[in-house]
Structure 1
Amino acid sequence: MMEILHFEFMQNALAAGLLTSIICGIIGTLVVVNRIVFISGGIAHASYGGVGLAFFLGLPVLPVTTAFTLGAALIMALVTLRARERADTVIGVLWASGMALGIILLDVTPGYNVDLMSYLFGSIMAVPRSDLPLMAGQAGLVLVLVITFYRGFMVMSFDEEFARSRGVPVNFLYFLLISLVGVSVVMIIRVVGLILVIALLTIPPFIAEQRTRSLGSMMTVSTLLSVAFTVSGLLLSYLTDITSGAAIIAVASVCFFLSFLLPDRRAH
Structure 2
Amino acid sequence: MEMRNPIDVRIIVEGASDVENVSRALQNIALGAEYHITISSIIPTTNTEIAKKAVRGADIILIATDVDAPGRELADKFQTVLKKEVGHIERMKLPFGHDVEYIDPALIRKEIKNAIIRSGLISIGNIGRIQELRDQLKQSENQITDLKEDIDNLSSEKEKTAKENKELTSSLERLEFKQKSLQEDLKTIKNKYADIKNKHRIILKKNLYETFLLNELWKENFNETLEEEELITFITSEFKPDNIILGQGFIAAPSKKDAVDWLKVIRTVLIFYDSKIEDLKEEIGDEKFIPSLLKE
TM-score of the superposed pair, with normalisation by structure 1: 0.20
From the CA coordinates, give the structure whose radius of gyration is larger.
Answer: 2
Instruction: Give the structure with the higher percent helix.
Output: 1
The one of the two structures with greater contact order (alpha-carbon pairs below 8 A, sep at least 6) is: 1
What is the TM-score when the length of structure 2 is the normalising length? 0.19
* More strand, by proportion: 2
